[in-house]
Structure 1
Amino acid sequence: MTADLTADALLDLAPVVPVVVIDDAEAAVPLAAALVAGGLPVIEVTLRTPAALAAIERIAAQVPDAVVGAGTIVRPQDAADAAAAGSRFLVSPGCTPALREAMTATGLPFLPGVSSASEAMALLEHGITALKFFPAEAAGGTAYLKSLGGPLPGVRFCPTGGITPASAPDYLALPNVGCVGGSWLTPADAVKDGDWDRIRALAAEAAALRTR
């Protein structure tokens, strides 16, 4: 299904992409399995902890139905390390020319982060049409994304940052939004306690948010 995954196709795999912070690599496999069982196969593991790369390796090797990627790609080396760990895609909070080149060099689909029309246009010049909109709520939310639809009709977004189960449907209703990123799927206490049933239930609720 994902052998020839593109960034644009990535936006259509699930309505919500869990944005996951993993402190203990031992939790990675059961956490990913719970998300997949709930109907969310695309999982973004943020490179914010020392355990992140090991977590990606374990998910890639042991949860075959998961499409695991790396988020918080902020340096060129992050892109290379994430690819080596088995990431299927990359996500960055922003983008510079050097980071764009590094992510392109991995051969993986990637969602570079933007928060303005100018940033989106700079990436569009390189043929990049699938973007992360971050930080979504702080940068203008659904009203801002709706306004970008007119001048940039060929660009689609995965908004992330401050999105909740209540606001997600409003984002998903926009024609230039393919999916949203959310951190509410994996509450820290549920991960710490190994409450995979709770995480599976949250994933199932999110999977049902697709409005079209």
Structure 2
Amino acid sequence: MTTSSHPPQHPLPSVLDLAPVVPVVVLDAVEDAVPLARALVAGGLPAIEVTLRTDAALDAITRIAAEVPEAVIGAGTLLTPEQVRAAVDAGARFLVSPGWTDRLLDAMRAPGVPFLPGVSTTSEVVALLERGVTEMKFFPAEAAGGVPYLKSLAAPLPRARFCPTGGIGAASAPDYLTLPNVGCVGGTWMLPSNALAAKDWSRVERLARAAAQLRVSA
């Protein structure tokens, strides 16, 4: 993995409040990282989750952290404490996991950056609340019950706030964003595969701008 020094960054108060949508990025080519991040930031989506599903992911995080300071770069699909440490060393400013264990949770808490452990059941939410964690990823959102499920959690678990991710698109995102316990959603619809293959960053920017304009209905 490429190493580099990272400029000092101010602590993030909450990932959930940076933008209505967090792009979930899978990068196969490191050279695409910077232009893609610049397109997303220009479109109004500064919080970017790069998933650790490819060999290029950690180098991509390093490149974005060093060359796109306006981006708030995060690491997703974290499954082990070792991945957590590598992501933070690469420059990740927030951490996201699809689920959690006590060992993984301790590792995500240790660096002092914001983190969103994944949940899909009420019991998992309650267990995190017991541990002082109030911000979570709800995954896989659509398969796990979607808007109706999250709506049903708002009254009994008012302290829990979520970033739903998984199966959400431009049409369904506004429904999630109307919920009082949803701060943002994660998605990939602003990153169509044909646009990435063609390196059509202007199209990515246009789609990101549309996503950034999603607002909670009155």
Query: How high is the TM-score relative to the length of structure 1?
Result: 0.97
SS of the residue corresponding to residue 106 of structure 1 reads coil
- Partners in 1 of 2:185 and 2:50 — Cα distance? 15
2:12 maps to a residue whose letter is L
Partner of 2:114: 109
Task: Tell me, yes or no, if structure 1 residue 5 matches structure 2 residue 12.
Answer: yes
Partners of 1:210 and 1:89 lie apart in 2 by: 23
- Following superposition, the deviation at residue 202 of structure 1 comes to 0.5
User: Residue 201 of structure 2 aligns with which residue?
Assistant: 196
In the alignment, what sits opposite 1:150? 155
Q: In structure 2, what is the equivalent of residue 19 of structure 1?
A: 24
* Greater alpha carbon shift after TM alignment, 91-100 vs 186-195: 186-195
Structure 2: runs of 5+ lacking an equivalent: 1-8
Out of 37, 40, 43, the residue aligned to residue 42 of structure 2 is 37
Q: CA deviation at 1:105?
A: 1.2
The Cα shift of 1:94 comes to 0.3
Match of 2:136 among 131, 137, 154: 131
Task: Give the corresponding residue for 2:103.
Answer: 98
Count, aligned residues: 209
Aligned-residue CA RMSD (Å): 0.9
Tell me the distance in 2 between the aligned counterparts of 1:78 and 1:190. 29
Report Cα offsets for 1:153-172 as digits up to 9, x if no partner: 01100000000100000000
Deviation readout 1:22-53 (Å, 9 max, x if unpaired) = 00000000000000000000000000000000
Task: Tell me the TM-score normalised to structure 2 length.
Answer: 0.94
Residue 189 of structure 1 and its aligned partner are, at CA, apart by: 1.8
Rounded to whole Å, the distance in 2 between the matches of 1:47 and 1:185 is 19
Structure 1 residue matching 2:41: 3-state secondary structure: helix
Q: Is the contact made by 2:11 and 2:113 (CA closer than 8 Å) also made in structure 1?
A: no
- Name which of 84, 91, 98 aligns with 1:79: 84
1:116 Cα deviation from its structure 2 partner: 0.6
Deviations, residues 144-190 of structure 1 (Å, cap 9, x unaligned): 00000111001100000000100000000000000000011112221
How far apart are the structure 1 equivalents of 2:111 and 2:190? Answer: 28
Measured in 2, the distance between the counterparts of 1:188 and 1:51 equals: 17
Structure 1's unaligned 5+ residue stretches are none
Residue aligned with 2:12, SS: coil
Secondary structure of the corresponding residue to residue 82 of structure 1? helix
Aligned partners of 1:77 and 1:65: how far apart in 2? 27
CA–CA separation in structure 2 for the residues paired with 1:135 and 1:164: 13
User: Whole-Å Cα distance in 1 between the matches of residues 40 and 93 of structure 2?
Assistant: 16
Separation of aligned partners in 2, 1:78 and 1:147: 33
Deviating beyond 3 angstroms after TM superposition, the runs of 4 or more aligned structure 1 residues are none
The answer on 1:159 being equivalent to 2:137 is no
What is the letter of the counterpart of residue 177 of structure 2? L
Q: Distance in 2 between matches of 1:54 and 1:20?
A: 13
Distance in 1 (CA, whole Å) between partners of 2:125 and 2:35 is 36
